[in-house]
Amino acid sequence: MGKSLTSQKRGKGSPTYRVNSFKYAGETSHLLSSKGEIVDIIKSVSHTAPLLLIKYKDENQNLVVAPEGVKVGDILEKGDAVEIKIGNTLPLGKIPEGTFIFNIESTPGDGGKMVRSSGGTAKILAKTKNKVVVKLPSNKQKEFNPKCLAMIGLIAGSGRPEKPFLKAGNKFKLMKAKGKYWPIVSAAAMNAVDHPYGGSRSSRKGRPTIAPRNAPPGRKVGMIRPRHTGRNK
Q: What residue ranges do the domains of the chain occupy? A: 21-161
Q: What is the DSSP string of 98-137?
A: T-EEESB-SSTTS---BS-STT--EEEEEE-SS-EEEE-T
Residue range 28-37, pLDDT digits in tens: 999 999 999 9
* Cβ atoms of 109 and 97 closer than 8 Å: no
Mean pLDDT within 152-180: 91
Residue range 195-211, pLDDT digits in tens: 877 887 766 665 666 77
The overall pTM is greater than 0.75: yes
Q: Which has the higher per-residue pLDDT, 127 or 219?
A: 127
pLDDT category at 118 given cuts 50, 70, 90 is very high
CATH tag for 21-161 (out of 2.30.30.30, 3.40.50.1820, 3.90.1580.10, 2.30.110.10): 2.30.30.30
